Amino acid sequence: MRSSRIASRTAGDGAAEDGLRADARRNRDRILVAARDVFAERGIDAPMATVARRAGVGVATLYRRFPTRDDLVRAAFARQMDLCGRALTEAVDDPDPWRGFQRLIERICALQSEERGFPAEFFLAFPESTEEHARAREQGEKAFAALVRRAQAAGVLRPDFHPSDLLVVVVANCGLVAALPGDGAASRRLVAYLLEAFRAEPARGALPPPSTVRLPLTPQQPFRP
């Protein structure tokens, strides 16, 4: 996806480069922030009216800016999808297939952890209402499949890994992020465990530090490493 242009005011009427006046841009920004929050809490099928209420605007205002749900979803997650696209491109271009694969998984999961509004459901239902977006999704899937095949051919990725397993990783990490918001350590540790499981021959390297979350152990069941 193309990254959004930086708006600049014109001296005459206070409009931005994209034609939006300052008040209209503020409304649009509030709607996008609210959409990410609502979609994170209730999924991308949450009522549009809920997004409008959270943004403090009327439903008519929301639909004037985003005529369809797909328009709103794409706009709300444009930055995240752009970052994922860049990460995939860098992974495919990396001469070391395992390093490219590893960094891609780490970056996608880190993005989920940093921006809780990037739910796993988005991967399941990425809107394809236009030929451009359908083509972009197909190209992304082909690029990831090619990366998987290259890593398997190099003997660094287990031969039974399937490209659809990426969704398993995303959903698992999404559940962890939702349960432990703000705990990036837990997400990094989960990703490290999963990557070790995906290696053809586990490296058995040191894992990231554990999370600070505490289990409800009883005095009779202390944890001793």
Long-range interactions of 61-65: CB distance < 8 A, separation 24+ = 61/27, 61/31, 62/31, 65/24, 65/27, 65/28, 65/31
User: Would you tell me how many other CB atoms lie within 10 Å of the CB of residue 138?
Assistant: 11
Amino acid identity for residue 54 in this structure = R
Q: Where in the chain is the domain with CATH 1.10.10.60?
A: 22-76
Distance, in Å, from the CA atom of 82 to the CA atom of 185, rounded to the nearest integer, reads 24
Q: Where in the chain is the domain with CATH 1.10.357?
A: 78-198
Q: Who's near 34: CB < 8 A, 6+ residues apart?
A: 51, 52, 54, 55, 56
Distance, in Å, from the CA atom of 155 to the CA atom of 53, rounded to the nearest integer, reads 52
Is the pTM for the entire model greater than 0.95? no
Distance, in Å, from the CA atom of 203 to the CA atom of 46, rounded to the nearest integer, reads 43
Fold of 78-198: Tetracycline Repressor; domain 2 (1.10.357)
51-77 pLDDT, tens digit per residue, is 999 999 999 999 999 998 888 988 888
- 29 sits in which H/E element: helix 22-42
Helices 184-198, 165-179: axis angle to 10 degrees equals: 160
| pLDDT confidence of residue 141 | 87
Residue 78: which of 115, 26, 48, 49 has the closest Cα? Answer: 115
Which two three-digit tokens encode residue 109? 């999961």
Which top CATH class is 22-76? mainly alpha
Question: Is 198 within 8 Å of 161 (Cβ atoms)?
Answer: yes
Per-residue pLDDT of the chain (225 residues; tens, 9 = 90+): 333 332 333 333 344 445 567 878 888 999 999 998 888 778 778 899 999 999 999 999 999 999 988 889 888 888 888 888 899 999 999 999 999 999 999 999 998 887 665 655 556 555 555 676 677 778 888 999 999 999 999 999 999 999 999 988 988 988 888 888 777 888 999 999 999 999 998 666 677 787 776 655 455 555 455
